[in-house]
């Protein structure tokens, strides 16, 4: 039992390829030491050869460096923008200034209700007066006078006479033909 607790974990020490940016696991890859004593680690011979030819790894499409520089394969999380808080602004409206609106708001509900009812009653009275005046005007113009009745009857009689004249004229036209 005590032996298991003394065991320590083996941690793999991976390195990164100097050219491609790929991970190099233990037992893989090769090290190249330049004449100035600087060491480079590569994942395979392909990477070493392109490095020795002085090819820029930012322009080689299969390298991780190229992908990082050109933003390939990165998933960008869409960040939700904060909604701005709506600020209520009290403005004056037609027929009431801002001061009047504030005054009405500050009144007690009973007083406000009473003044509202009084205003509604006044509007109803005004409408009633207008409708009464309109009815009076109708009754005075609606009573037919003798002249209007005769004119209406005369038009009908004259139209009947014209119709009989036309019917009498039609057989006379046929006789001449």
Per-residue pLDDT reduced to its tens digit, 90-100: 777 887 888 88
Q: What is the spatial distance between Cα 172 and Cα 144, in angstroms, rounded to a whole number?
A: 42
Q: Retrieve residue 68's tokens.
A: 């990082």
pTM for this entry: 0.39
Q: What is the dihedral of CA 44, 49, 51, 57, to 10 degrees?
A: -70
Which residue did the predictor score with more confidence, 14 or 148?
A: 14
Q: What are the backbone angles phi and psi of residue 20, rounded to the nearest 5°?
A: -90, -25
Structure confidence at residue 156 (pLDDT) = 52
pLDDT of residue 170: 56
Could you tell me the two tokens for 75? 């998933």
**Tokens of residue 171, six digits:** 């057989």
Residue 74, pLDDT > 80, answer no
27-58: per-residue pLDDT in tens?
Answer: 999 999 999 999 999 999 999 999 999 999 99
Residue where the block lists tokens 């139209």: 159
Q: Are 59 and 67 in contact (CB under 8 A)?
A: no
């Amino acid at each position: 039992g005590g032996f298991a607790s003394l065991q320590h974990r083996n941690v793999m020490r991976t390195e990164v390829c100097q050219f491609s940016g790929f991970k190099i696991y233990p037992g893989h890859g090769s090290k190249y030491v330049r004449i100035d004593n600087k060491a480079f680690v590569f994942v395979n011979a392909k990477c070493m050869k392109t490095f020795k030819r002085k090819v820029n790894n930012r322009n080689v499409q299969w390298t991780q460096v190229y992908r990082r520089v050109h933003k390939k394969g990165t998933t960008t999380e869409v960040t939700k923008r904060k909604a701005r808080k709506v600020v209520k602004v009290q403005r004056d409206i037609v027929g009431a200034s801002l001061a009047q609106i504030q005054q009405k708001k500050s009144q007690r509900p009973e007083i406000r209700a009473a003044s509202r009812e009084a205003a509604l009653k006044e509007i109803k009275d005004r409408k009633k007066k207008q409708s009464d005046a309109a009815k009076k005007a109708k009754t005075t113009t609606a009573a037919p006078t003798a002249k209007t009745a005769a004119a209406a009857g005369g038009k009908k009689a004259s139209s009947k006479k014209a119709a009989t004249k036309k019917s009498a004229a039609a057989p006379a036209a046929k006789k001449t033909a």
